[in-house]
Structure 1
Amino acid sequence: MFVENLACGGIAGIVAVSCVFPLDMVKTRLMNQSSNATRTVAYNGVVDCFKKIIQTEGVSGLYRGLPANLVGITPEKAIKLAGNDFFRSLFSKLYFKTKPAAPTDVVKQLPVSLELLAGGCAGAVQVVATNPMEIVKIRMQTSKGVSTIHVLKELGLKGLYKGSAATLSRDIPFSMVYFCLYSRLKHHLSENKQDPSSKISLKAIIPSAIVAGSTAAFFTTPLDVIKTRLQAHGETQLKTIGQVYRHIMQNEGAAALFKGCLPRVLIMSPLFGITLTVYELLQNFLGINKV
């Protein structure tokens, strides 16, 4: 079942990322610009950023770095989604092993603490794929006329994991909030809460995924800003999470930690809505049992 979930997660990620990549480009450009830089701030908000990218780089500029991102998104989403299901299944077996047997028509639901732990574990293990994918994507999105091969050669194997601590600090809490909230909302909206074998309808999956993705994205935006600054070109003297955080607070203020928050939320809503819809539909098609 784990291999099947990996395949479902990879396909779901490719479909979703292809749909929302232009918004991700805007988010990265907004997050990476420093308001106290010697140059004039390039973009004044989401709409202005969209317009200027198209004017100066053409529509194709909105998709710079997409091929490399698709190569990386397959294992990233596969590990994230299949990993969450794996840890939920593992913790479910361990937890309910010590509990009295429940009637077959009662859905066995993990306590919130274990759902958070399962999501956090999934967020931790995915970084092995997430970090190389995101640092290449960010370099492609913030540097004009640079090829994927050039970025890979410049970074080297060690460079692909630059900012890993920041990626972990973002992905673990994001996955904890996202998967736990998604599971709870999906169960609440399910038309047949008492039948553990029933298939969950799209009316439950889509809004649950969108709300969970938006919520997790909003609260982890400061961590994404720090990660983006660490992994992008420029500000090379800032090499740790603490250094970037202090630099932002001293020179730009707390509001700068939420730069790109709107496009990030706008990305995560459809991204995880599409991802989880495709993932769950594929699981239903293949007859994979979910916890």
Structure 2
Amino acid sequence: MDESLTVQSSVTSPVIDGLKDVLFGSIAGCTGKLIEYPFDTIKVRLQSQRHDQPLRFNGTWDCIHKTFTQEGLIGFYKGLPSPMVGAGLEAATLFLSYNMAQGSLKSILDLKELELRHLVACGAISGGFASFVLTPVELIKCKLQVGNLYAADGHSITITGLIKKIYLKEGLKGFWFGQTGTLLRECGGSASWFGVYELMTRFLKTQRLGRATTSKDENTTAELLASGASAGIAYNLSLFPADTIKSKMQTFSITNPGEGSLDFKGAFNLIYKHGGVKAFYNGLGITLIRAIPANAVIFFTYEKLKTIF
């Protein structure tokens, strides 16, 4: 009887932990997305401008001003439903695959605790999984964020209309257009994301315990927020050019109607030809600004939900 209960516990515990990762990750991801989305709209619009015409926006603040003047507050939230779903799925996938990768690596290496380099590798693995969830969501998001700026005859672009158009033209594979850019960004970015978060939480806790002001072994709220903010900055700095190329690929058919589509190499060459290395970092400033509060909230929410439940 006791042996049966032991076996059942060992089987159900990973399942329960996995379900918690999915639920808590989804909540954390959606919370962070509400904070960062207006900033993301500005970033994508800056990344997706036509190079063969005068720029529509002369920098971040000009883009913010024109978006608000022409579209009001709603303009900053164009295409929000799709990335809200994506944010929940992304965060759930990231945290679930990250923790599963840790469990597998501990078993393979026969370790009780992983070193930071192992955690960075687990982060890259989780990013790879997340990229396949993110690409379709970001494809719709980017087209909506840019589409209504270039729509002819005042016709607005809708989510359902875009989904139908992509499916009829390219089938299911069309929803993963830009996967290369997303994969590069997510593998490198998630390795930095989790790696810097783990580094900062350990460092801040060690510093506090070293001062002997408290014996609390868990990170404080301030430490979690600071670590999450640092992770967000590291994620975006690590492979931002890959995100710029991905955005250009996914919006080119809208900003340049009738000119076909761009592959990864074509988008890279076009961006470099018209703007040099600097062009790969269009929108980086607004992205780093959004990364601080959004990622602080994501990690804090996830950690607190795990603690409470």
Matches within 5 A, 1:1-291: 1-34=17-50, 36-38=51-53, 40-95=54-109, 97=110, 109-144=113-148, 145-156=156-167, 157-190=172-205, 191=208, 198-232=217-251, 233-234=254-255, 237=260, 239-286=262-309
Q: CA deviation at 1:109?
A: 4.3
TM value normalised by structure 1: 0.88
**In 2, Cα distance between the equivalents of 1:244 and 1:76?**
25
Distance 1:192 1:78, change over 3 A: farther
Which structure has more helix as a fraction of its residues? 2
Verify the 8 A CA contact 2:128 2:187 in the aligned structure 1: yes
The letter of the residue matching 2:301 is V
Q: CA deviation at 1:132?
A: 1.0
Q: CA deviation at 1:127?
A: 1.6
Identity among equivalent positions (%) equals: 23
Distance 1:2 1:88, change over 3 A: same
**In 1, Cα distance between the equivalents of 2:287 and 2:113?**
31
- Aligned residues: CA RMSD: 2.2
Verify the 8 A CA contact 1:238 1:244 in the aligned structure 2: no
**In 2, Cα distance between the equivalents of 1:109 and 1:91?**
10
Greater mean alpha carbon deviation, residues 134-143 or residues 207-216: 207-216
Structure 2: where are the runs of 5+ without partners?
1-16, 149-155, 211-215
Verify the 8 A CA contact 2:189 2:234 in the aligned structure 1: no
Post-superposition Cα deviations, 1:24-78, rounded to whole Å, max 9, x if no partner, equal 10011011114x322x211112111111011111111111111121122211111
Q: Which has the larger radius of gyration?
A: 2
**In 2, Cα distance between the equivalents of 1:201 and 1:50?**
35
**In 2, Cα distance between the equivalents of 1:25 and 1:254?**
22
Q: CA deviation at 1:184?
A: 1.0
Post-superposition Cα deviations, 1:79-108, rounded to whole Å, max 9, x if no partner, equal 01222122123213333x2x6xxxxxxxx6
Which residue number corresponds to residue 11 of structure 2? none
Q: CA deviation at 1:14?
A: 0.8
Number of aligned residues: 274
Verify the 8 A CA contact 1:12 1:274 in the aligned structure 2: yes
Which residue number corresponds to residue 14 of structure 2? none
Structure 1: where are the runs of 5+ without partners?
100-107, 287-291
The letter of the residue matching 1:154 is K
Q: CA deviation at 1:238?
A: 5.3
Distance 1:94 1:198, change over 3 A: farther
